[in-house]
Amino acid sequence: MEKQLTQKESLEIIHAMVQQSRQRVGENGVFYLLWGYAALIAALAHYLLLQAGIQNPWMSWVLMPVAGVLSGIIGYRKSQQATVLTHVDTAMVYLWGAFLIVLITVLSFSGQIGFTGSYPVVILLYGLGTFVSGGILRFKPLIFGGIICWICGIAAMFSAFDVQLLLMAGAILCGYIVPGHLLYAQRND
């Protein structure tokens, strides 16, 4: 014979289970750090190579596909080990999937709009990714980081190409690296 529940016990069970299913958002930190550091190094290297007058200074961005493959491997392993799929997980996959499609499109056709025109758009796009993911994860440093990216993106529209690269590096630092470290520090909470 099953024990009869009281209404208080029923509510306690519901409350306890909803608390149990709360996401550990810190586990997402590694992706921001991976992408952030790769993009920061690429942007600064691009700037330095440009200043040094070296041919094809944009070659530094070859780091990004490497970071992409690495984060793909980490993401796949995490999904294989995960025993639960949350709405947050699904929302993040759609957000970063859309981000990647727009990023690749803008970079592929940057010949059409020019590098000087496309980099501010990329910075604004970085801001969109961090701002929205900050909302999904309810993590304020990402939301603030996203706003800083947008300010850098607007400033980049009025700047020379070499300054745009520095603004991009600043945007990545505020939008990805700092929030990424803060998020990563929470991974075991």
Question: Which residues would be at the binding site for other proteins (CB under 8 A)?
Answer: 2-5, 7, 9-11, 13-14, 16-18, 20-21, 80, 83-87, 89-90
Q: Please, which residue, 11 or 101, has the CB nearer to other proteins? A: 11
Q: Please, which residue, 3 or 112, has the CB nearer to other proteins? A: 3
Exposed, middle or buried, 166 (CB in 10 Å: 0-12/13-18/19+)? middle
Shortest Cβ 129–other proteins spacing (Å): 22
Shortest Cβ 73–other proteins spacing (Å): 16
Q: Are 181 and 28 in contact (CB under 8 A)?
A: no
Q: Phi first, then psi: give them for residue 119, nearest 5 degrees.
A: -65, -40
- Write the DSSP string, 98-151: HHHHHHHHHHHTHHHH-HHHHHHHHHHHHHHHHHHHHHHHT-HHHHHHHHHHHH
Q: Please, which residue, 56 or 80, has the CB nearer to other proteins? A: 80
Shortest Cβ 82–other proteins spacing (Å): 8
Shortest Cβ 123–other proteins spacing (Å): 33
Q: Please, which residue, 16 or 48, has the CB nearer to other proteins? A: 16
